[in-house]
Each structure stands twice: as C-alpha cells, then as structure tokens.
C-alpha cells in the first residue's frame, strides 16, 4: 500500500508544484486543518497522515477512522512547511474523501439493513478501480461492512462463466473440492432455486443468489429449509441492491448482502483543507 501511495504523490506532483513554488517562499511555516464540509463516517486518516508525514510534516488526527463527523468538524491538523502542505493537499484529500464516502454509505446502509435484520452482513465486491481495492475494502470495514475478497486467492467463488467452462454446478464444486485446500471456503453463484438446491447438495459452503428479486430469494430459502438444505449454509445475495431497496433484501433472511455500488459508484465525502500562516 505504501508503494501505491508514493506513486500517487509522484503522479500528482510530477516535476514539481510550479504554482506553490512560484508563490510561496521556501521556508514558510504554516498550519492547516482538514475539515468535513458535510456529516459522515471518517476513513483514511492514517493514510492521509502517512502522506503528510512522508515530507516531514507534523500531523494530529482529531477524528479517528470510524468516527462520525459533523459538518465543519475538524478531522486533522497539519503543521510544517507550507510548500509541502500545499503540494500534498490534493493527494491526501482525494483518498480521504473517497474512503470516507465509502465508509459513510456502508455505515448508513448497514444501519438500515440491521434495523430489520440484526444478523445480516453488508459486504463489498471486487468492483473497484485498479490499485484501490485494498483502500476501498478497508473503508468498507471501517464503515462496519464485510470486505468479502481482497483478492482472487482468498476463497473459491464459482461464477456463471466457470460453470459454463466446466460443464455444470455439480462438476464445478466437485473439481474445486478435489483441487483446492480444505482451508478455503467454496462459494457458487446461482440464479434460481433449483440450482441453489443442487449447489447445497453438492457441498457448497456459500450460495450466492444473483440477480433475484426479494420474493424469489424468500421462496428459494424456504425451499432449502423444506428440504433440509439450509443448515450450515450461508446465503449471499447480490445484484442491484442499493440504499433504496436494502430493507426489502434484508428482510429475506439472507445472511450476506453484497453491494457493488459501494465502490464502483462511490460518492466522495466533501472534505477540504484550510491553511493559515504562523
């Protein structure tokens, strides 16, 4: 993650911040505050701190990751060379705004879902921008969600194209059980109750009900219960779940709701930096 952060700084500064270097005397010392312009859940403070401290600036975090901040609340303070503060401002704010936006939305939808189903988990997906997966997943965790997979080696997730490639659900699970370590859970994506029952009988640990309506999910879970296939099985639901319909999906009895929009359509939290000279 440090290498990625350093690449952001290099990318943004380029051969030098010509505006700041032209206007600000070399040894000017300044104080700065990072302020939330709207309420939300703070995430990414340690990363922003690392960015500023990488150039010798002093940083004090006032709102730790996971804190609820109000509009005009101060998240952190920075002191040191004014040129360095201004040159690093945008890189630090960009990741702080993105991560806080993800954490805020995760916190809000999780609260809505748990109000009707205290046991349901809200999870992210791998639908993130390249290079940002670890940061996005960290933000989801800070907001109270589940990270799902950080990378492809975390667990087995058999999707529709895998099933097509090997010739069916039973064969896909059978191959996975033979070739993958017993330490890895096996999840499989299905689109109807028949395939869900087949996957459960074949020994899947987790079944993902993909692109199904809340009514179809409820019916599928009822069928699994009736045939004694629900025990020791996690039910994940994915596809088109958002803040507007989260309650309907939470009420189905599913164990996990995975929401791609938390990362692929994130709305950044509005955060700014104000500078003052000593």
Q: What is the mean pLDDT of each run of 10 residues along the chain (278 residues)?
A: 90 92 94 98 97 96 97 98 96 97 98 97 92 94 92 92 95 96 94 95 96 96 95 94 96 96 94 93
pTM score above 0.85 = yes
Res 82: pLDDT: 96
Do the Cβ atoms of 110 and 145 come closer than 8 Å? yes
**Taking the CA of residue 271 as centre, how many other CA atoms within 13 Å lie in the half-sphere pointing to its CB?**
35
Q: Report the alpha-carbon distance of residue 108 to residue 213 in Å, rounded.
A: 22
Tokens of 161: 């194209």
Of 125, 199, 193, the residue nearest 158 (C-alpha): 199
Q: How many residues does the chain have?
A: 278
Do the Cβ atoms of 42 and 66 come closer than 8 Å? yes
The region, left, alpha or beta by phi > 0 then psi within -120 to 50, assigned to residue 31 is beta
How would DSSP label each residue in 165-205? Answer: HHTSHHHHHHHHHHHS-TTS-EEEEESSHHHHHHHHHTT-S
Res 168: pLDDT: 95
Q: Report the alpha-carbon distance of residue 233 to residue 215 in Å, rounded.
A: 20
Res 1: pLDDT: 85
Q: Report the alpha-carbon distance of residue 101 to residue 97 in Å, rounded.
A: 6
Res 147: pLDDT: 87
């Amino acid at each position: 993650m440090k290498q990625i952060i350093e690449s952001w700084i290099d990318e943004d500064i380029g051969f030098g911040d010509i505006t700041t270097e032209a206007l600000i005397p070399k040894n000017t010392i300044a104080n700065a505050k990072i302020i939330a312009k709207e309420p939300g859940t703070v995430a990414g403070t340690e990363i922003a701190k690392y960015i500023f401290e990488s150039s010798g600036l002093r940083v004090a975090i006032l709102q730790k990751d996971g804190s609820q901040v109000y509009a005009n609340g101060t998240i952190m303070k920075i002191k040191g060379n004014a040129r360095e503060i201004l040159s690093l401002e945008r890189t630090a704010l960009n990741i702080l705004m993105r991560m806080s936006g993800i954490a805020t939305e995760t916190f809000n939808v999780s609260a809505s879902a748990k109000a009707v189903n205290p046991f349901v988990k809200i999870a992210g997906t791998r639908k993130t921008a390249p290079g940002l997966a670890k940061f996005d997943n960290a933000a989801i965790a800070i907001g109270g969600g589940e990270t799902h997979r950080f990378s492809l080696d975390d667990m087995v997730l058999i999707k529709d194209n895998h099933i097509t490639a090997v010739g069916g659900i039973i064969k896909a699970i059978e191959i996975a059980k033979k070739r993958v370590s017993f330490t890895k859970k096996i999840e499989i994506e299905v689109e109807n109750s028949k395939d869900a029952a087949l996957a459960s009988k074949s020994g899947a640990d987790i079944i993902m009900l993909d692109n199904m309506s809340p009514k179809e999910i409820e019916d599928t879970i009822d069928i699994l219960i009736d045939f004694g296939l629900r025990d020791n099985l996690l039910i994940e639901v994915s596809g088109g779940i958002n803040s507007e319909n989260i309650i309907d999906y939470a009420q189905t009895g599913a164990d996990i709701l995975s929401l791609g929009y938390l990362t692929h359509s994130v709305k950044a939290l509005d955060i700014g930096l104000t500078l003052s000279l000593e």
